[in-house]
Structure 1
Amino acid sequence: MRWTAAATDAGRQSAGGDRRPLVIAHRAGTADFPENTVRAIDGALAHKVDMIWLSVQVSRDGVPVLYRPADLSALTDGTGKVADHDAAELTRLNAGYQFKGTSGGYPYRTHPTPLPTLEEALRRIPQHMGVLLDMKSADGQALVPAIAKTLDAMEGRGRREWQRVRFYSTEKPNLDAMAAYSQARLFEDRDTTRTRLVTSRLTGNCLNAPRSGTWAAFELRRDVTVTEKFTLGEGRSPIKQALMWDRAAAACFHTHSSVRTVLIGIDSKDDYTTARKLDAYAVLADSPERMMKIKDEAARTSR
């Protein structure tokens, strides 16, 4: 069975026609297991998530690997940047080295879990499941062709990866570089999504509603700073955990059909309920274990 949007949409249906947001495992489940590892992927699959979100960078020798931070020391027993090491070196690192267990210790220092390549991760994930790739490298000219080469090679061996992968990045140049590949399916760039949200929240106006079929992702809440320009300077108002989405903003995004909104940072029952009221297509959750229980409970309470 291969991934299709229609098949995935079936996961939103519950009794009475209720449409619950799908659950996407953020970094494969960063709260449950070491992020972006095969161990996390296996855990997310065991909890029956709807899709998986992975962070990808590129090695010195052009191999896409799963890793998020700027320095390897943040999560692994290595040091330096991903781009400074060959894939063979990277895959020998323990990607769970800095992961703290519930007891406060470091369980993966005695039970290592390797840093995986993108190909290894995709092969682990069933073909029917959608995969969202967050391109984390600042050098899109190195990362993007490396990803494309990997997907092309897997397609040449009978798999259909391009049709189930969708690309996200906080860096618009990465999305622009990936857009050169006709097979690539992209999220709307973050600047466009943010501007539409802020315009709606501050003015009530719907600025350039996204066209049908667009995917857009942004946090439900986010620390922001409002800057006011004066003749002789500027004033700044920092706002902690500003609510970025409301009904008017959601309605703006859903002006046209088949727009899929993904709300980031949804890790509680209250936030999942909010996402549901806003007709979010999916939520990005750090703990698949916790969020799938919340989604299942939402199905029971809607009957």
Structure 2
Amino acid sequence: MHKPRQMLPLLLAAAVIGGCATPPASVPGAGKPPLLVAHRGGAADFPENTLLAIDNALANGVDMLWLTVQLSRDGVPVLYRPADLSANTAESGTVSEKTLAQLQKLNAGWNFKQTAADGQVTYPYRSQAVNIPSLEQALAAIPETVPVILDMKALPAAPQAKAVAQSLERLHAWQRVLIYSTDASYQQAFAAYPQARLFESRDATRDRLANVALTHSCTLPPAPGRWAAFEYRRAVQLVETFTLGEARSKTNALLWTPAAVDCFQSRGKVALLAIGVNTAEDYRAAACLNMEAVLVDSPRAMGAVKRQLEWPPRCD
């Protein structure tokens, strides 16, 4: 649960559209259409974080892949996101409780369902199993020209960072990979590897968005060349505390605004990724904000949206 001090800035970011302390960095929509990044390989189209999802995302023209990494019991980085194996497979327990060999006997598509137009639900991969791949298997299957974002999910961070670094070293893959995590401990863990290309910490990104919204100031913009990511829209909760208790208000906050983008770009080019862009409307808005990339759940649907986008877009 977010702490109250974090919720208030996110809520108010939706309403504040005032300028940053620095001049606008760019003209809306003047760049190029945002890159499509397949979230977990395209979790809406195929079983997430599988080679099947990756292959089909590439076939649908994505520009980058976002893959989720955890560590097996025998220290092998594998692609899997939820905390428990029961979310995607017919087994239970955590990834860290099983060896790579045990994990690769599981069906990562067991709970993937499809809903037909008449409302009928089917589980197509219960009869055609798809495996949990290792990170090295996935990277070997992805063309070297396609950048990959690795989202670190397991804790503690240090053992996983070491294992991932060893895999990237063996495959000579450092330059094709970016590292992301919602947990700041991964920033520290990967600091031991100067080759690592890291997203700015989520805490720093969130704090900057909050400062633009609340004080109309641009504090500590990231250095040029960095990547930063945050949700385009975010369900947040305002918590007001007082002597006799607290009150809560919920909203769906719009976090990326022209002022926020100008702040991030005020020291030079920063690559901004909007998480959770899954409609034509939001994709056009991201293009008007000059976002570098957007994270999408359905490469099949959003590939068509990108191809059909009028360029330059109509920016209100």
In 2, Cα distance between the equivalents of 1:301 and 1:208?
31
Paired residue for 1:216?
Answer: 228
Rounded Cα–Cα distance in structure 2 between residues aligned with 1:193 and 1:234: 30
Q: Write the distance in 1 (CA, Å) between the matches of 2:253 and 2:87.
A: 28
Residues 1:21 and 2:34 are matched in the alignment: yes
Quick check: 1:225–1:236 contact (8 Å CA) kept in 2? Answer: no
* 1:226-265 mapped onto 2 (5 Å cutoff): 226-228=238-240, 230=242, 232=243, 235-265=246-276
Query: In the alignment, is residue 201 of structure 1 matched against residue 221 of structure 2?
Result: no
What does residue range 1-303 of structure 1 map to in structure 2 within 5 Å? 18-103=31-116, 104-155=121-172, 161-228=173-240, 230=242, 232=243, 235-299=246-310
Per the TM alignment, residue 225 of structure 1 is displaced from its structure 2 partner at its CA by 2.5
Compared with structure 1, are the counterparts of its residues 29 and 260 closer, same or farther at alpha carbon in structure 2 (3 Å cutoff)?
Answer: same
Following superposition, the deviation at residue 300 of structure 1 comes to: 6.0
SS at match of 1:137: coil
- What one-letter code is carried by the residue in structure 1 that aligns with 2:109? G
Q: What TM-score do you get using the length of structure 1 for normalisation?
A: 0.89
Q: Which amino acid aligns with 2:100?
A: A
In the alignment, structure 2 segments of 5+ residues that lack a partner are 1-28
Deviation, structure 1 residue 198: 1.5
Does the C-alpha gap of structure 1 residues 218 and 93 become closer, same or farther in structure 2, counting only changes over 3 Å? same
Letter in 1 for 2:295: L
Q: Deviations over 1:262-291 (max 9, x none)?
A: 000000000001111111000000000111
Please, what TM-score do these two structures have when normalized by structure 2?
A: 0.85
- Cα separation, 1, equivalents of 2:106 and 2:263: 45
CA contact (8 A) 2:223 2:270 kept: yes
Counterparts of 2:63 and 2:223 in 1: how far apart (Å)? 24
8 Å CA contact 1:227, 1:234 repeated in 2: no
User: Over aligned residue pairs, what C-alpha RMSD do you find?
Assistant: 1.8
Whether the 8 Å CA contact 2:284–2:313 is kept in 1: the answer is no
Task: Report how many aligned residue pairs link the two structures.
Answer: 282
Partner deviation per Cα, 1:186-207 (whole Å, 9 max, x = no partner): 0000011001112212222212
Counterpart contact for 2:50–2:132, Cα < 8 Å: yes
Q: CA deviation at 1:121?
A: 0.5
1:185 CA displacement: 0.4
SS in 1 for 2:305: helix
- Cα deviation for residue 141 of structure 1 reads 2.0
Equivalent residue for 1:12? none
SS of residue paired to 2:106: coil
Alpha carbons 1:56, 1:67 under 8 Å: kept: yes
User: Which secondary structure state, in structure 1, belongs to the residue aligned with residue 171 of structure 2?
Assistant: helix
User: How many angstroms apart in 2 are the aligned matches of 1:245 and 1:258?
Assistant: 16
Deviation at 1:302, TM superposition (A): 5.4
Unaligned ranges ≥5, structure 1: 1-15, 156-160
Identical columns (%): 48
Q: Please give the secondary structure, in 2, of the residue aligned with 1:132.
A: strand
- Cα displacement (A) at 1:45: 0.7
The separation in 2 between residues aligned to 1:143 and 1:233, in whole angstroms, is 44
Write the letter of the residue equivalent to 1:289: R
